[in-house]
Amino acid sequence: MAWDRNQMAQRAAAELEDGWYVNLGIGIPTLVANYVGDKDITLQSENGMLGMGPFPIDGEEDPDLINAGKQTITELRRTAYFDSATSFGMIRGGKIACAILGAMEVDEKGDLANWMIPGKLVKGMGGAMDLVAGVGRVIVVMDHTNKHGDSKLLRECTLPLTGKAVVDRIITNLGVLDVVDGGLKIVECADGVTEGELRAATEATIV
């Protein structure tokens, strides 16, 4: 047993505090928006919007209104729009409390790799490097192992980095870990996962 995608998103949503401005990445992080409940959370889309609403209903799409994944979205009563320089000003300036994003690799020093695999097609880092360098807290949500069953929580990242010593917390299908001095610290295990199983699936040093 372990958490599925929605349970990982639900666990990540529990990290968010009332009043926070938050940036959600593509994939499982996008699902976090479904689980914020009664908390007053304002979502930022780094192409230039605070107060991102849900996808539009069919027929109400607006080509002038998209998210950072280029999907059509809607606005809310609180929405504010701004240009890209202002948008990354608030990211770099630490005004965004938290970013939740996916990753290919995270290591025990909090280094993050999620934009490039050498020898494969490189599409670009988009806003990921700015986000991990700038926001208050970086939470990675990803599967604990890759498709070959190898740990994605490493002693040292092997892929080109998105940011150095930037990750605060990692939420995987097997549990929750924090980046601390000397390695990763287990915060909790997923439902039905033992600490032994979590340790066995993790290459990084667990302290």
Partner 1 sequence: MQKIYPNAAAALDGLLSDGMFIAAGGFGLCGIPELLLGAIKDAGTKDLTFASNNAGVDDFGIGILLQTRQVKKMISSYVGENAEFMRQYLSGELELEFNPQGTLAERMRAGGCGIPGFYTKTGVGTVIADGKEHKDFVGPDGKSQTYIMEEGIYADLAIVKAWKADETGNLIFRKTARNFNPPAAMCGKVCVVEVEEIVPVGTFDPDHIHLPGIYVHRIIQGDHEKRIEQRTVREKS
The contact set with partner 1 (CB under 8 A) reads 45-49, 54-58, 60-67, 69-73, 75, 81-85, 87-89, 91-92, 94, 111, 121-130, 133-134, 160-165
Helix (H) or strand (E) holding 101: strand 98-101
- Residue 17 a catalytic site member: no
The residue annotated as part of the active site, out of 15, 17, 46, 195, is 46
Of 127 and 175, CB closest to partner 1: 127
| 16: nearest Cα among 49, 43, 52, 53 | 43
Of 71 and 194, CB closest to partner 1: 71
- Say how far residue 22 (Cα) sits from the centre of its chain: 10
Q: How far is the CB of 57 from partner 1 (least distance, A)?
A: 5
Of 136 and 186, CB closest to partner 1: 136
Q: How far is the CB of 116 from partner 1 (least distance, A)?
A: 8
CA distance 100 to 106: 14
Q: How far is the CB of 133 from partner 1 (least distance, A)?
A: 5
Q: How far is the CB of 121 from partner 1 (least distance, A)?
A: 6
Q: Pairing state of beta strands 112-113 and 98-101?
A: unpaired
Cβ atoms 118, 157 nearer than 8 A: no
CA distance 179 to 177: 7
Of 55 and 187, CB closest to partner 1: 55
- Say how far residue 45 (Cα) sits from the centre of its chain: 13
Cβ atoms 24, 71 nearer than 8 A: no
| 198: nearest Cα among 172, 169, 167, 168 | 172
Instruction: Write out the catalytic residue numbers.
Output: 46
